[in-house]
Amino acid sequence: MGINGNQLLQVTLNENPKLWELIGFKVSQFDNGDSFFMLGNVQFLLTASREPVGFSSLTAFEVEKPIDSLPFQAMAREDVDRILSLPKTTHPNSISRIDHVVATTPDCDRTTSAFDDAGIPLKRVRTFGTKNNLVRQTFFWLGDVILELVGPDEKSSHGPAVFWGLALVSEDIEKTVNNLGDSCTPLKKAVQAGREITTVKTREIGINTPIAIMTPHV
């Protein structure tokens, strides 16, 4: 199977798999006790590690070391082929793929330069907010998944960039909202025209990774 650019292959999360089953994902288990499920071309690996909670790392094709302080892990070619050969999964919650991964940084210029050095050029930049409090969004493509980098337009500190949250796509948002019930917020219009969005109440459930769920791109 062909690979599209620096395709995102794996998202590793230190999360309780039973809680992800609770919100409608079909989770399988490896012999070592780790769990996984597929969303499009990406394998979600749920590990039993305690630290850091939530995001642990990403794996993208031919990205073999961290980008700035963002933990990217290398993967052997046979494991790449194994993941790409796994069948697409239909989940009870109707979520089919990742729309974007969100990372935050106090220094957008530094982290953007690190992505460029890794062979992942920026695709679009958007700024919003007030004159003295501008926020910058910088967008990159990891194959068919967007990585959205968010931070102040002017450097605020020397602190690290970190992975923060996920935006996922539902093929039937009404079914997704019904499946989640009180575990998500009411459906509303998204920033992108023609799309709708809901947010999973992850803190109430015990999931450490912020999750938004959106309708597909128009």
Alpha helices per DSSP H over 86-214: 108-117, 173-180, 202-205
> pLDDT band for position 88 (50/70/90)?
confident
Token pair belonging to 153: 């337009």
Asked whether residue 115 is domain-assigned, the answer is yes
Q: CA-CA distance, 206 to 26, in Å (whole number)?
A: 18
The tens digit of pLDDT for each residue in 126-163 reads 999 888 889 999 999 999 999 999 999 999 999 999 99
DSSP string for residues in 30-96: -TTS-EEEEETTEEEEE----SSSEEEEEEETT--S-BTTB-B----HHHHHHHHHSPP---TT-EE
Report which of 65, 61, 66, 86 is spatially closest to residue 76, judged by C-alpha positions: 61
Question: Which of 7-16, 86-95, 108-117 bottoms out in mean pLDDT, i.e. has the lowest?
Answer: 86-95
pLDDT in the model for residue 2: 61
Percent of the chain past pLDDT 90, that is, above it, reads 81
Provide the residue range defining the domain that includes 154.
8-214
Name the phi and psi angles at 184, rounded to 5: -140, 165
Token pair belonging to 65: 């070391």
Residue 199: CB atoms within 10 Å: 15
Over residues 47-53, the mean pLDDT reads 76
Q: Are 98 and 40 in contact (CB under 8 A)?
A: yes
pLDDT over 60 (residue 1): no
Over residues 20-36, the mean pLDDT reads 91
> pLDDT band for position 30 (50/70/90)?
confident
Asked whether residue 2 is domain-assigned, the answer is no
More confident residue, 207 or 3: 207
CATH number at residue 171: 3.10.180.10
pLDDT in the model for residue 20: 96
pLDDT over 60 (residue 185): yes
The tens digit of pLDDT for each residue in 74-83 reads 999 999 998 9
Q: Are 12 and 56 in contact (CB under 8 A)?
A: yes
Asked whether residue 12 is domain-assigned, the answer is yes
pLDDT over 90 (residue 87): no
pLDDT in the model for residue 52: 78
Buried/exposed code over 112-125 (b: 16+ C-beta within 10 A; e: otherwise): bebbeebebebeee
Over residues 37-48, the mean pLDDT reads 93
> pLDDT band for position 218 (50/70/90)?
confident
Residue 104: CB atoms within 10 Å: 18
Q: How many CA atoms lie within 13 A of 156 on its CB side?
A: 16
Asked whether residue 105 is domain-assigned, the answer is yes
Number of domains making up the chain = 1
Asked whether residue 1 is domain-assigned, the answer is no
Asked whether residue 129 is domain-assigned, the answer is yes
**Beta partners for 103?**
149, 163
Q: DSSP letter for 187, please.
A: P
Asked whether residue 3 is domain-assigned, the answer is no
Cα-Cα-Cα-Cα dihedral of 172, 168, 10, 55, to 10°? -140
Asked whether residue 63 is domain-assigned, the answer is yes
pLDDT in the model for residue 167: 97
